[in-house]
Each structure stands twice: as structure tokens, then as C-alpha cells.
Amino acid sequence: MKYKPDAVYTFPRQNELEQLAKAKVAALPGETSESLEGVKDQVRAYARTLGEDAEERAGAYCAYFDEKLSMVRSVTDKIEEGDRPCVYYAGTDILTTYGKYSDIMEVIQAAGGRAVSGELEAGNRTEIDYEQLMAWNPDVIFIDHGGMNGRETVEELKQEISQKSVYQALKAVKEGEIYLSPSGAFYWDMGLQKILLVMHMAKILHPEEFKDLDMEAEVMEFYKKFYAYDLTREEAARILNREAPQ
């Protein structure tokens, strides 16, 4: 309260929102969306509270988002269901995942995959059991940003999945098809950079169809446009490989 904020961006936590309301502080709670359209909606909502050129900048972001998503979908929409790899998106550990009420399902679909948990009645980070994962037996496993709440980092989780004998029968483990969600200025599976995740995932799932997609160049363009920062190609590569900054 000493900061005397004009507005607070926060999560939809009822107790916190009630406290802010009593203090007569305007609050904008970020909502988890079930679709990629929600990413743009949230950017526009923030922009409306900021004034000046914020709405123009939000419009530029939304135009970029639509352009890149259309570019990916122009390829993946032609891929038959049987030619789409089965994808499992893991959360903070291998037995947490994302369900039908998460926009991660749309990320996977747009990137040309089939989400094995697409019919799961759940949102973000829902626990499943070992038998369910084995029954799904995905072709590819992606791991979200992880490293929260004092748990393992995503790097440690990838190593654990790869080496633990109970998971050796999984097709994705046997074939080494385990990937980490990149993190740059923020986690790619949340926030503004989610459109980069769509492109990155599409290139991993369908390398031949996207052989001309230069992800390092895409990351560099994004940072220049929206963070006013000139990444080097090496820095972009480190982000894509989930390596710490030098």
C-alpha cells in the first residue's frame, strides 16, 4: 500500500481481490484461458489500463500473433490425424499434465500434434496416475517450465524421466523424444511468448515441413519487436535450448 498503485495486475485470488477492493485499489486479475485467443484478450485488457500508446502496441502484438499462427496452421491444418504425433505435456512432474480446459491443447493441435490428454476433464497441472500415462504411451513428451514450489527443475525432471526404469517402456522415452519448454523473458508456456512455443513445437514435431523455419531468427525478431532488445543469435539459441544466460 506504500506504493500507492493506480492499478494492480494479479491472479484471480478472491481473498486478495477483496482486500484490494476494500483499499479502493483497482485490480485486474489475469484469467487462465482455454484458447489461444485468450492470450491476445489479456494483452488488450492490460493495454486499456495503461493509456498512451499501449493499445497501439497491443494491436501490433495481436497482428503478429495472428500472422505467425496462420503461417503454422497453413501447414499443419493439412496434416492428417494419423500423421500427427501423440503428444503429452507434463507439468511440475511427469504425472501432472494439462487437460481440455487449457490452451496448451490448442498449442499442440496448432503445432500439428495430437494431445493425448485432450479429453481429460481438467485445466492446468492436473494429476494423473502411472497407468494412465502408460496407456496413452505418447510419441513425444514436452515438459513445462517447472522448477516451482521447491520441486525439481525441468532439466532434472527430463533426466529423471529418461533414466527411471518405470518409464523406459514409454515410446517417447525409448526414442529420446523428450523436450523442454523454453524460457526467455518469461516461460513460453505462459504469457506473451506462447506463440513462439507454437512455432517451436511445430518444428520439433514436423521438421521436414518446417525445415525453412529459423527459430533463432524468430526469437530475435520477437525480442526486437516487443521487448526492444537486440538478441544475438547465440543468445536466441541459448533460450531455445533452455540454457542460462552467460
pLDDT at 153 over 60: yes
pLDDT at 183 over 70: yes
Q: Report the range of poorest mean pLDDT among 45-54, 64-73, 145-154, 184-193.
A: 145-154
% of the chain surpassing 90 pLDDT: 67
**Single-letter code of the amino acid located at 173:** V
pLDDT tens sequence across 38-54: 999 999 999 999 988 99
Question: How would residue 216 be classed by pLDDT, with cut points 50, 70 and 90?
Answer: very high
Q: What's the chain's average pLDDT?
A: 90
Would you state the pLDDT for residue 211?
A: 97
Would you state the pLDDT for residue 80?
A: 95
Would you state the pLDDT for residue 81?
A: 93
**Three-state DSSP class for 115?**
strand
Q: What is the rounded radius of gyration, in angstroms, for the C-alpha atoms of the chain?
A: 19
Average pLDDT, integer, range 165-186: 90
**Three-state DSSP class for 170?**
coil
Q: CATH code for 81-240? A: 3.40.50.1980
Average pLDDT, integer, range 211-236: 97
Specify the pTM.
0.90
Query: Among candidates 136, 92, 84, 139, which has minimal Cα distance to 114?
Result: 84
**Three-state DSSP class for 184?**
coil
Q: Report the range of poorest mean pLDDT among 58-67, 147-156, 175-184, 205-214.
A: 147-156
C-alpha 76/C-alpha 18 separation (Å) is 45
Query: Among candidates 112, 115, 119, which has minimal Cα distance to 206?
Result: 112
**Three-state DSSP class for 129?**
coil
> What residue segments make up the domains of the chain, in order of their start?
1-30, 81-240
Q: Which three cell numbers stand for residue 216?
A: 533463432
Q: Rounded to the nearest 10 degrees, how much is the dihedral formed by the CA atoms of 115, 119, 125, 129?
A: -100
For the chain, the first-to-last Cα distance in angstroms comes to 37
C-alpha 202/C-alpha 109 separation (Å) is 9
Q: Which three cell numbers stand for residue 35?
A: 484458447
Question: How would residue 152 be classed by pLDDT, with cut points 50, 70 and 90?
Answer: low
Instruction: Judge contact between 140 and 86, C-beta under 8 A.
Output: yes
Question: How would residue 154 be classed by pLDDT, with cut points 50, 70 and 90?
Answer: low
Please identify which residue in the block is written with the cell numbers 525439481: 152
Q: Report the range of poorest mean pLDDT among 30-34, 135-139, 152-156, 189-193.
A: 152-156
Would you state the pLDDT for residue 150?
A: 47
Question: How would residue 2 be classed by pLDDT, with cut points 50, 70 and 90?
Answer: very high
Average pLDDT, integer, range 233-240: 94
pLDDT tens sequence across 74-119: 999 999 999 999 999 998 788 989 988 899 999 999 999 999 998 8
The CA angle 71-61-227, to the nearest 5 degrees, is 115
Q: In what helix (H) or strand (E) does residue 21 lie, and over which residues does it extend?
A: helix 14-22
